[in-house]
Structure 1
């Protein structure tokens, strides 16, 4: 109930109690005096009994007190008791009003949790994501729910939450670390308790990861490659709807990636870029190679590869050139020799994050100067990890828990998969 309604209700109750008790005193005096005519005409009659105006008691007391003082004392006691009852009711309703005022949500209902609420939420346990301090205890969240820390730049999110969590989290973790500060402060400690990996696409000494090696040959291959192409054609995560060139280049990329995995020696995204832009042959010859190569051995052509090549060959030369140039624009990052080197093979696999003997910590480090340029690759890695680890929601006891410590997460742009997967990604 709103505080204003309680105030007006309080006034109405007090007034009603005073009125009723004054009326009761009036009727009591009239009864004790035998409803004599000298009391005046009644207001109305009820069941044969005269009913007088409520304040008539005071007029009679002033006029007839000398003739029956004891009777008027009785009436005064009744009237005064009404005042005491009204005061008691006012105090009681003021207490209710004060309690209701604590729950008024005019300016929001957020408040600090009380001791019993903190303990009931299990925030005083020994493990989990560090949230803060409560008296002399640390607040930690160790459940499957997600944790969001939202605060201005340089307000202490890293030193207050990220670093302490990484120094106490016992299982595997993926850390999005733009500036490399978390790697510097926590990697040495975490290396004593498990495997530590640094992936920096601008550093030739980085741990390597080839997204194409996570494509599972067979019934899953088309789905895995389509997921890779989805990220390639939307490097910023800003597309609500693909235009013609993006749709057709997506189809070309799916076919080209599958062809490279089946028939080419360089099975990398840099290899895909080199295959589509081979200066030794025209694009028509490249597409013919995709159509004529027996990818499936005796079974013949791969239907997805052949159809994507035929689709592009059926277009006019100008349109074909536009589709190819659009596809190549999405592969430009992998022409960087450093990026090509760190995506040429795999020093770790997605399954290692949860299934290896020791916990694994993967630091995704990108210098601020290269955030926009390398964003598509980091988005691709996170997308692959998230999709692969949520394919089967039933987990065995041998799997490590995996913490996604995505510091500066907005820098990655929109990740549709994470948006939809928040409901079940409690790993």
Structure 2
């Protein structure tokens, strides 16, 4: 002992903080978000004590959680049941439609787009609806390209993307002008250079010099380049080689029909999602673009706004402009809910834009059981550290001494985030401290059960 000090033990006093540091939210931190009853136009994110926790009007919501953790039953379905305005939702599950159909039918027409299901019970849609000029054709082409916008790891990705878009747009205008439909677009892509006279004739009938110039620009490319551009366009439009998709090419689904109190369910089984994602991304793009157009045309926000629930957002409709939609959609009247399994899934779909997508959603909900280490570590780091007193006891010649120093530890370590109890979620909302809230499955709420039965 005389040779020096010997550390015989130490302990961390978890309940004592030297400085405030990071902390979980207290009741006062949720001021403005809690209510004793539902508020029309504000999404219920869960519960805290006896009160509901509500998102601010139109604030974009990001939900991250693995399957079977309540993303659908506790968030998507309650939002759809309660929303006072039009609804657009994507899902691989028929239960979303089954549970909410009666409630939505009380508010307006219920439309289902399911190209792999019964064509008699599915609404028709074509990207040619509204394509009357070059601007409309460009917008439609951009929407179809939306699901293929990342192209991470592809050399000169922006060139191939822009070139394919420049090929698709004049084909859409030519098909719309000639009344041939999407079947003609597919035939022209198959024919390649041999389709030039027929497409030129259709574009001349449309009397649009810009479209004709764009078509000639692609046809004038070096043969190998043109072949690669055509191959990219074929990938984007691959769904229209499916008879089920072509059979639903009726112009029944329009923005006007949806935004006038309608509800649209886009349904795709898991094994068909990748093949159909251009179709669904095109629909989502067309409908959300109409909300922006309404704002520009009238100077007024759409009220009540359009609820957009992108369940399985990385697979069914990975729209290219999701970062912008999350950030700017609230202003014209879009309430966005984006649902992913983890941040790795966002990165796989959007590459370097993943962090922007996360940041642009004002409210972020993390559900139990997340298994991706990067998601857990990133979230734990973002929540910050808390300083705690560490008391060390030492024995030496002068006797026993105790010293106290500050030790930083994560507010919530990664393993504790993974082990969140079932039925709970961590809410990260803007600059507020994070809050643990209780999820609210629709079937546990008497009022939501009544809505699901079609009662008032």
> 1:413 & 1:189 partners in 2: Cα distance?
25
CA distance in 2, matches of 1:175, 1:151: 18
Q: Distance in 2 between matches of 1:422 and 1:145?
A: 8
- 1:337 match: 243
Deviation at 1:123, TM superposition (A): 4.2
5 Å-filtered alignment, 1:41-120, equals: 101=19, 103-105=20-22, 109=23, 111-114=24-27, 116-120=28-32
Q: Aligned residue for 2:149?
A: 237
CA shift, 1:148, in A, is 2.1
Q: 1:369 to 1:251 in 2, by over 3 A?
A: same
| Contact 1:196-1:361 within 8 A present in 2 as well | yes
User: Relative contact order: is structure 1 or structure 2 higher (C-alpha 8 Å, sep ≥ 6)?
Assistant: 2
Q: CA deviation at 1:334?
A: 0.3
The one of 186, 203, 222 aligned to 1:273:
186
CA radius of gyration, larger in = 1
Q: Secondary structure at the match of 1:132?
A: strand
Q: Distance in 2 between matches of 1:322 and 1:410?
A: 26
Distance 2:267 2:200 in 1: 40
Instruction: Give yes or no for contact 2:46–2:52 (8 Å, CA) kept in 1.
Output: yes
Measured in 1, the distance between the counterparts of 2:242 and 2:34 equals 49
Please name the residue that 2:33 is paired with.
Answer: 121
Aligned to 2:93: 179
Distance in 2, Cα, partners of 1:196 & 1:340: 22
1:209 matched residue in structure 2: 125
Q: What is aligned with 2:167?
A: 252
In the TM superposition, what whole-angstrom CA distance separates every residue of 1:154-208 from its partner, at most 9, and x where no partner exists?
1122222222222222221111112222111111222133221111121223111
CA distance in 1, matches of 2:146, 2:320: 11
Distance 1:289 1:124 in 2: 64
Please point out which of 253, 264, 269 is paired with 1:348.
253
Distance in 2 (CA, whole Å) between partners of 1:267 and 1:193 is 32
Structure 2 vs 1, CA of residues 277 and 139 (structure 1 numbering), >3 Å: closer, same or farther? Answer: same
The alpha-carbon distance between structure 1 residues 235 and 171, as it changes in their structure 2 partners (threshold 3 A), is closer
1:413 CA displacement? 6.5
Q: Kindly report which structure 2 residues correspond to 1:412-423, keeping only aligned pairs within 5 A, or say none.
A: 412=316, 414-423=318-327
Q: Is the 8 A contact 1:174 1:404 kept in 2?
A: yes
Counterpart residue number, 1:189: 103
Question: Could you say if the C-alpha distance between residues 313 and 245 of structure 1 is closer, same or farther in structure 2, counting changes exceeding 3 Å?
Answer: same
1:425 Cα offset (Å)? 0.8
Give the unaligned 5+ runs of structure 2: 1-14, 334-456
| 1:406-425 Cα shifts (integer Å, max 9, x gaps) | 22222246533221232221
C-alpha spacing 1:329/1:139, structure 2 compared with 1 (3 Å): closer
> Is 1:289–2:171 an aligned residue pair?
no
2 CA distance for matches of 1:277 and 1:123? 58
**Correspondence list, 1:294-309, <5 A:** 295=204, 301-309=207-215
**Which of 263, 281, 303 is matched with 1:379 structurally?**
281
Secondary structure at the aligned position of 1:212 is classed as coil
TM score, norm. by length of structure 1: 0.64
What is the aligned counterpart of 1:226 among 138, 145, 163? 138
**Aligned-pair Cα RMSD in Å:** 3.0
Is 1:370 the equivalent of 2:272? yes
The whole-number CA distance in structure 1 between the counterparts of 2:203 and 2:270 is 45
Structure 1 unpaired stretches of 5+ = 1-96
1:268-317 CA-partner distances (Å, limit 9, x unpaired): 3x331124436xxxx555212333457357xxx52133223433443455
Aligned residues: 308
1:118 and 1:124 in contact (8 A); partners too: no
Shift of 1:99: 7.4
Say whether the 8 Å CA contact 1:123–1:141 is kept in structure 2. no
SS at match of 2:83: coil
Q: 1:251 to 1:167 in 2, by over 3 A?
A: closer
What is the distance in 2 between the residues matched to 1:125 and 1:100? 39
- Describe the superposition over 1:318-345 as per-residue Cα deviations: whole angstroms up to 9, x where unpaired: 5555544443343231021111112x11
More helix as a share of residues: 1
Change (3 A) 1:390 1:123: farther
- Contact 1:237 1:413 (8 Å CA) reproduced: no
Q: Distance in 1 between matches of 2:229 and 2:314?
A: 30
Where 2:82 maps in the other structure, the secondary structure is coil
Whichever structure has more strand as a proportion of its residues is 2
* Alpha-carbon distance, 1:390 to partner: 1.5
After TM superposition, give the deviation of residue 124 of structure 1 in Å: 4.2
Secondary structure at the counterpart of residue 148 of structure 1:
strand
Deviations, residues 214-249 of structure 1 (Å, cap 9, x unaligned): 32x2xxx32332233235456443225536655444
